[in-house]
Amino acid sequence: MITVFGSINVDVVCRVARIPPPGTTVLGSDYELIPGGKGANQALAARRAGATVRLIGALGDDDISKAALTELEPGGVDLDAVTRRHGTTGVAIITVDESGENTIVVSPGANASASVAQVPTGAFSASDTLLLQMEVPHSENLAVARLANQAGARVVLSIAPFTPLTPKELGPATVIVVNEHEAADLARHLGLSARGDQAVVTALARRLDRTVIATLGPNGAVACGPQGLVQVPALPVTPVDTTGAGDTFAGVLAAFLDEGADLQTAMANAAIAGSLACTRNGAQPSFPTRDEIAAQSG
């Protein structure tokens, strides 16, 4: 089983011809309210890939909160440990340009109050996987990770959005997932001089003594861990919206690792899923099913 402790947002999405530079105004499309948030996204991506998934997080009691669960509830993610707080729901203001690239500003709202106290007693067993990201307080991430670790569960940490963590602040996470920019930022923060994706993940894995996986957009993903270097390709797709592609990768990766797949297999399926998510609009509505992933894998 997978437990995701993390953010739940509503994405306010506006499509634009080009993302405006600072100090300028552009006209865009009608806005859409789309369920998102890195925690919720990773939970749904793992569920669509076939895993049993529990999400632990927090919503506000404002009107916009209704839009947050429209994919998670019918999607079969266990939401019993999602709480409602007085105040605003997490919201992400997103612009998407004609090439599918985006900018995202997150207003945390209730995510800032997500707490280890919400974790049900006996939540973890040795066969479980805990999936974490950086849109909730990291002190709470670490407290939840310690509970999972005490039970012998696998802990996967997605350092998104990028946060300059020390090795100690990675806690018991044994698998670290970053994108290429986050990998470079983390390497710089740790004083590593490696250049190039393979060299950077190798240096990070050695320094952190953990498996480090970097997603590389159209170039797939690369990892370094106890099994050495692993590289997998992306699908050749024309992106319409890359929002949530990294979350799709992390969720599907966790789903395959949780069912016992090796790292190469888990990454290959995660990269396919991330590519497919780029071919559709929005975060959660774009995540592929297990059958759609299988149809693309050799």
Q: Say what the alpha-carbon torsion angle 118, 56, 162, 88 is, to the nearest 10 degrees.
A: -80
Nearest distance from C-beta of residue 12 to ligand RIB, angstroms: 9
Nearest distance from C-beta of residue 149 to ligand RIB, angstroms: 25
97 is catalytic: no
Q: Considering the rule CB under 6 A, would residue 182 count as an interface residue with ligand RIB? A: no
Q: Which ranges constitute the DSSP H helices of the chain?
A: 38-48, 72-75, 138-150, 180-189, 197-208, 245-258, 263-277, 290-296
- Name the active-site residue from 80, 247, 258, 291: 247
Can you read off the two tokens belonging to residue 23?
Answer: 């100090």
For 43-82, b where at least 16 C-beta lie within 10 A, e where not — what string? bbbbbbbbbbbbbbbbbbeeebbebbbebbeebebbbebb
Stretch touching ligand RIB by CB under 6 A, among 33-41, 45-53, 270-278, 285-293: 33-41
- Bridge partner residues of 193 (DSSP): none
Stretch touching ligand RIB by CB under 6 A, among 36-44, 45-53, 70-78, 219-227: 36-44
CA 72 from chain centre, in angstroms, equals: 15
Amino acid at 67: A
Q: Which is nearer to ligand RIB, 194 or 234 (CB)?
A: 234
Give the x/- contact pattern for ligand RIB in 217-246, rule: CB under 6 A: --------------------------xx-x
Q: 128 to 167, contacts with ligand RIB by CB under 6 A? A: 135
Which amino acids are annotated catalytic? 247
Contacts to ligand RIB by CB under 6 A: 7, 9, 11, 36-38, 41, 92, 104, 106, 135, 243-244, 246-247, 283
